[in-house]
């Protein structure tokens, strides 16, 4: 499958990247419809080790936004109900590690109201509200790509009003008509600390409202991977173990503004459903943790298919919509024995453990931000010192998904990145 380069020799770095072929995976366009699935769940994201104390029991009725559990290591941080309903099932692994808490929807259910007095102007109250309402979990801390720790103070905060992933819904579309909520959330979060504050907008577009004085506006290219937080952070404020950097999606910030003004959490988020197994793509507003089969069932063509939470590049097979995901990819599943063909054999041999040869495509898949050869060597050898010197602490798995696509690397670069980040995190925690 050919890749199209997103940069000419003298073009700006803002256009560096790769354009994936159409291949039937059209972007979702048209009218936005609402779809609350019958079931939804609160889950871990695959990397999180969430040890929790439950606040509810099976068969109990809960309100939308009601705290369902608290983290054992940080009791002030709650995970809340994505919709009003009845607790259908609670699955915990040994050590009270969360697997999933499943809810059945209650159309006539209530909404939980939070106390917001003083939170918009006082940092302590705002931090408490973020943690109590579950919005703390929408923040992502770099290095390591995890939820910020309860007392963590960022050196910088990046608000992502751009997303270059193939098929991703435009963040500015997600907050259209919610400009006051967005400004309210922006103003409040910018007061949380003395951190540098950046609003990242797509090149040629900008949020129409006036932003608070401490906020620096950045124009970000639309060619993938330019619109990923990792590369923006790397260029403008690289993350360090002693200087964490947070990023947050523009719609989550608008949710904070809505919470501050009303006391209620918004019930839905904008999600794009795309993929080559669909009759049509769609933009829907659904609850967090929505049932992916329920979301996509009416759009799928007959035949075997796989449903991913996330994009076609970095999505993973899942039952429920991921914590920060705003895409569902529904892909055709190939069946039967592999065709006997020289090209199939060549692809299989290329996927075996072998050195990756740095190419122009790999450079562009890294957005022109990091030296491809040096980064690949550091990841393969587990060279933490070189990795940190190159700026790798600003990256998480999604930032290397396009490089994995371009190279067909085995083991995957994203997996190597997570391994080296985990090793550094263990060393930092032990220090």
- Structure confidence by residue, pLDDT tens digits, 294-349: 999 999 999 999 999 999 999 999 999 999 999 999 999 875 544 444 445 555 55
Indicate if the pLDDT at residue 286 is higher than 50.
Answer: yes
Nearest to 356 by CA among 416, 423, 420: 416
Report pTM.
Answer: 0.91
Within a domain: 400: yes
Q: Are residues 92 and 157 in the same domain?
A: no
Strands 156-160 and 196-202, bridge-based pairing: parallel
Residue from 358, 369, 370, 118 nearest 226 by CA: 369
d(CA 85, CA 38): 9
Question: Is 2 a domain residue?
Answer: no
Domain boundary among 249, 266, 283: 266
Average pLDDT, the chain: 89
Domain boundary at 214, 236, 266, which? 266
Residue 10 has pLDDT above 50, yes or no: no
Quick check: is 97 in a domain?
yes
Q: Mean pLDDT throughout 280-296?
A: 96
Residues 241, 124 within the same domain: yes
* Inside any domain, residue 416: yes
135-142 mean pLDDT: 97
What value does the mean pLDDT take over residues 76-96? 97
Is there a single domain that holds both residue 278 and residue 258?
no
Same domain, 129 and 256: yes
Query: Residues 431, 180: contact at Cβ < 8 Å?
Result: no
123, 194 Cβ separation under 8 angstroms: no
H helices of 271-392, in order, are: 292-296, 342-350, 360-365, 372-381, 384-389
Note the pLDDT of residue 23. 43
Q: Are 365 and 408 in contact (CB under 8 A)?
A: no
For 11-48, the pLDDT digits (tens) are: 345 568 887 765 445 566 668 999 999 999 999 987 88
Q: Are 326 and 271 in contact (CB under 8 A)?
A: yes
Quick one: 137 and 198 in the same domain?
A: yes
pLDDT of residue 15: 63
Higher pLDDT, 78 or 344: 78
Nearest-5° Cα angle at 397, 92 to 228: 120
Is residue 212 within 8 A of residue 187, CB to CB? The reply is yes
pLDDT band at 9 (very low <50, low <70, confident <90, very high): very low
Specify the 3-state DSSP secondary structure of 129: helix
Give how many domains the chain has, as a whole number: 4
Helix H segments across 229-283? 229-236, 250-262
- 3-state class of 310 per DSSP? coil
Is the separation of the CB atoms in 96 and 51 below 8 Å?
A: yes
Task: Determine, yes or no, domain membership for 163.
Answer: yes
Report the C-alpha gap between 138 and 252 in whole angstroms.
7
Instruction: Decide if pLDDT at 5 tops 50.
Output: no
282 beta partners = 273
Residue of higher predicted confidence among 255 and 344: 255
Per-residue pLDDT of 119-137, as tens digits, reads 888 999 999 999 999 999 9
On whether both 160 and 214 belong to a single domain, the answer is: yes
Most trustworthy range by pLDDT among 109-123, 235-249, 397-411? 235-249
Instruction: Tell me the average pLDDT across 77-104.
Output: 97
Q: Let me know: does 289 contact 252? Beta carbons within 8 Å.
A: no
CATH number of domain containing 89: 2.40.50.100
Answer yes or no: are the C-beta atoms of 41 and 294 closer than 8 Å.
no
- Report whether 366 contacts 406 (CB < 8 A): no
Q: Where are the alpha helices (H) located in 303-371, listed in sequence order? A: 342-350, 360-365
CA atoms within 13 A on the CB side of 325: 31
Q: How many CA atoms lie within 13 A of 135 on its CB side?
A: 28
Domain that holds residue 235: 119-266
Least confident of 28-32, 221-225, 407-411: 28-32
User: 287, 267 in Cβ contact below 8 A?
Assistant: yes
In-domain check, residue 1: no
* Stretch 364-388: mean pLDDT: 93
Residue burial 176-206, b: 16+ Cβ < 10 Å; e: rest: eebeebbbbbbbbbbbbbebbbbbbbbbeee
Q: Is the same domain home to 189 and 318?
A: no
Rounded average pLDDT over 77-101: 97
* Alpha-carbon gap, residue 386 to 343, rounded angstroms: 36
Summarised one tens digit per residue, pLDDT across range 172-209 is: 999 999 999 999 999 999 999 999 999 999 998 989 88
Please tell me whether residues 156 and 178 are part of one structural domain.
yes
């Amino acid at each position: 499958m050919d890749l199209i380069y997103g940069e000419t020799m003298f073009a700006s770095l803002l256009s560096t990247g790769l354009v994936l072929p159409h291949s039937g995976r059209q972007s979702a366009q048209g009218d936005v419809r609402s779809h609350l699935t019958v079931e939804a769940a609160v889950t871990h994201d695959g990397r999180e080790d969430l040890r929790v104390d439950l606040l509810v029991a099976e068969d109990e009725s809960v309100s939308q936004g009601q705290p369902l559990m608290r983290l054992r290591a940080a009791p002030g941080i709650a995970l809340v109900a994505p919709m009003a309903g009845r607790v259908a099932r609670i699955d915990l692994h040994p050590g009270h590690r969360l697997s999933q808490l499943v809810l059945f929807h209650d159309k006539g259910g209530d909404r939980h109201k939070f106390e917001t007095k003083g939170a918009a102007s006082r940092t302590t109250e705002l931090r408490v509200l973020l943690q109590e309402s579950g919005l703390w979990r929408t923040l992502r801390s770099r290095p390591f790509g995890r939820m910020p720790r309860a007392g963590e103070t960022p050196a910088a905060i990046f608000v992502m009003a751009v997303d270059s992933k193939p098929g991703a819904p435009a963040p500015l579309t997600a907050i259209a008509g919610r400009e006051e909520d967005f400004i309210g959330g922006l103003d409040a979060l910018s007061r949380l600390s003395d951190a540098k504050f950046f609003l990242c907008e797509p090149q040629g577009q900008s949020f129409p409202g006036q932003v608070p004085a401490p906020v620096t506006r950045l124009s970000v290219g639309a060619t993938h991977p330019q619109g990923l937080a990792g590369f923006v952070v790397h260029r403008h404020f690289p993350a360090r173990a002693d200087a964490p950097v947070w990023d947050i999606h523009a719609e989550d910030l608008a949710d904070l503004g809505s919470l501050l003004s009303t006391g209620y959490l918004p019930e839905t988020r904008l999600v794009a459903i795309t993929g080559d197994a669909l009759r049509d793509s769609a933009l829907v507003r659904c609850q967090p943790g929505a049932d992916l089969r329920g979301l996509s069932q009416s759009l799928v063509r007959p035949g075997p298919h796989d449903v991913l939470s996330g994009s076609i590049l970095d999505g993973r097979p899942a039952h429920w919509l991921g914590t920060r995901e705003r895409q569902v990819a529904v892909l055709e599943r190939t069946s039967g024995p592999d065709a006997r063909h020289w090209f199939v054999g060549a692809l299989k041999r290329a996927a075996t453990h072998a050195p990756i040869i740095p190419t122009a495509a790999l450079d562009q898949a890294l957005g022109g931000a990091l030296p491809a050869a040096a980064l690949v060597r550091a990841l393969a050898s587990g060279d933490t010192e070189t990795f940190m010197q190159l700026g790798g602490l600003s990256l998480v798995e999604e930032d290397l998904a396009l490089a994995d696509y371009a190279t067909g690397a085995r083991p995957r670069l994203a997996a190597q990145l997570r391994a080296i980040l985990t090793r550094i995190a263990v060393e930092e925690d032990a220090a």
